[in-house]
Amino acid sequence: MDTFDIGGELTVGRIGLGAMRITGEDVLGEPDDPEAARELLRRAAEFVDLIDTADSYGPGVSERLVGEAIGPDDDVAVATKGGLLRNREGEWLPRGDPDHLRNAVLCSLDRLRTDRIDLYQLHTPDPDVDFEASVTALAELKDDGVIEHLGLSNVDVEQLDLARDHVEVATVQNRYNVAYREEAAVLEACEDYGIGFIPWYPLAAGDLGSVEGLADVADAHGATVHAVALAWLLARSPVTLPIPGTASVEHLEANVAAADLELTDAEVARLR
């Protein structure tokens, strides 16, 4: 599998695991079988070396399960996110004030059972908080050594450039997939800057039927449309780091295998 150096030094394979789906239904509460979720994570450590979670998944459940399953002896980078709350009604609520972020990082450290987070990402800009204040608070925690690398999520190019005035940005995590390309400008900026781009919803939540030619390319390779969608993301730019989520070891193995699926230039162009 091809690799990418997050922050120029943290080497990871270019397909990781998104750990949002190991929680309960609608990303709330405990999964039906917590031990099965931990086993999935332990098996994931055999196939990938990047696992992405967030404090709002559960809330807190995904991080705790990752902390229970992935230890210091596992050669796995753990990325998490803070600054987006989840209430009992399932609403996502931005919360980017510095005091909240500082406390959120401490809570994530505890749940992940670590003293330093490999990659911590501001989950989303808070429209009620000065964006620079949010970034500066996390930059200070990076200076303190509790965050190794700092990332952003759900930002535009202007916000990315503003953050880069204050801190080295290692990754950006925005929605992007073969069926949704509205964040192309951010991806291209990341490529220009050598910043990792983590596309969330890399499989469009399974809704790939609208992509013309995708099924034909899959048939030509004897592969699934999901595998081709991941292979397309890898071919789209050398900085993309897809993190498909799954609750199934079988699907995990299939997702990782997509790294070995080589699309021709014509096929990549056809799916553009």
- Residue pair 261/228 in contact (Cβ under 8 Å)? The answer is yes
Question: Environment class of residue 236 by beta-carbon count within 10 Å: exposed (0-12), middle (13-18) or buried (19+)?
Answer: buried
Distances from the Cα of 252 to the Cαs of 190, 246, 258, in angstroms?
A: 27, 6, 10
Catalytic residue (choose from 57, 120, 176, 201) = 57
Contacts of 272 (CB under 8 A, 6+ apart): none
Question: Environment class of residue 134 by beta-carbon count within 10 Å: exposed (0-12), middle (13-18) or buried (19+)?
Answer: buried
What is the chain's length?
272
Does 180 qualify as catalytic in the annotation? no
Which residues are tagged catalytic?
A: 57
